Amino acid sequence: MYAKTGSIEQSRRTFDGLVEKDAVSWTVMVTGYGLHGLGKEAIEIFELMHRQGLKPDRYTFIGILMACNHAGLVEEGLKYFSEMQSVHKIEPKLEHYACMVDMLGRAGHLDHAASLVEKMPDEPDAGIWGSLLSACRTYGNMDLGEKISKKLLDLEPGKAEHYVLVSNLFAGSGRWDDVRKVRQKMREMGLVKNPGSSWIEVGGKVYNFVASDDTHTESKEIHRMWRELEEKIRGIGYVPDTGSVLHELDEGEKEELLRGHSEKLAICFELLKMTKVSILRVYKNIRICHDCHNAAKLVSKVMQRQIIVRDNKRFHHFRDGHCSCGDYW
């Protein structure tokens, strides 16, 4: 519970206080560290579990592979994936392959990731193709990306999020005609993208924000707060990352869109309402973008607050201008 709600330190204190630790509690701690991007700590716990004579199971290996993935520890991840089979005689399932493909793809080893997919004993699911497609966009591999796009849309043609991934692939390379074709196809099929949203809890009530949201009763104050924050963080090096905006707009329009991202609105509202709270917590339904990530780091510095953002992949702990992920996510 503590790990899943962002309190990884309290999770570890509770774990350390257990009189008897079984394989489940060790696995939960390994997975918890992985969820927070603390790969080295996850490895330390995993190795200590092994020295204590407890055998890891397939769930433990999901945890340690996820931890290696989130921390970019490719060599370690490959080692554990091999040992899982050769030493512990555990046959990898779809979840293990998903961790490995995502890990290799995020690190830029696209050929290795694609090769691993081809060797899988079971058919890869949409999640595996989707993570590989995202990696293709990140590293600009259009040839492989277009092949994967076809496989993904053939596998699940009615999922709007898959078309968004394909659209983002083309947008990342400036192929706006192809972007328009994908979006037109979505309209013809009646597919609608779920908007990115962020939510926070203030005074026992949950507040939800979507991008460019002006419906909140205190929208003017929220946007004013962001303008003030933006001026402060520009003074210590913030430059809007307009590459995070995958739309055919000029630079000024892109910067204005970035100002309305949901996590920025949520952070500003928390700052307005929770002046005496040292930790701000934001939850998101999609991955945090590069611009909001950079902005949150600098806001944590100028406001002297810890900001914890839980996106759809993992936790980010922003403190004094740095993030726990080490800018790898």
**279 shares its domain with 318:** yes
Residues of the chain with pLDDT under 70: none
What is this structure's pTM?
A: 0.90
- Say if residue 145 is in the same domain as residue 161: yes
Both 45 and 163 in one domain: the answer is yes
Specify the CATH number for the domain of residue 137: 1.25.40.10
Last residue of a domain, one of 131, 161, 189: 189
- The number of angstroms, rounded, from the C-alpha of 93 to the middle of its chain's C-alpha atoms is 22
What's the pLDDT tens digit per position in 171-220? 989 999 999 999 999 999 999 988 889 999 998 999 999 988 888 889 99
pLDDT cut 90: percent of the chain above it: 90
174: which DSSP letter?
A: T
Task: Show which of 168, 189, 210 is a domain's final residue.
Answer: 189
The pLDDT score that the predictor gives to residue 246 is 86
My answer on whether 208 and 263 are in the same domain is: yes
Do 206 and 181 share a structural domain? Answer: no
In terms of domains, do 169 and 20 share one?
Answer: yes
Same structural domain, 167 and 57:
yes
- The parent domain of residue 19 ranges over 2-189
Has residue 176 been placed in a domain? Answer: yes
Supply the pLDDT for residue 228. 96
Residues 222 and 139 in one domain: no
Read off the pLDDT of residues 60-73 as tens digits, 9 standing for 90 and up.
Answer: 999 999 999 999 99
Q: Kind and range of the H or E element at 306?
A: strand 306-310
Residues 179 and 224 in one domain: no
- The answer to the question of residue 329 being in a domain is no
- Residues 272-282 pLDDT 10s: 998 888 899 99
Per-residue DSSP letters for 214-264? --STTHHHHHHHHHHHHHHHHTTT----GGG--SS--HHHHHHHHHT-HHH
Q: Do 161 and 184 reside in the same domain of the chain?
A: yes
178 and 269 in one domain? no
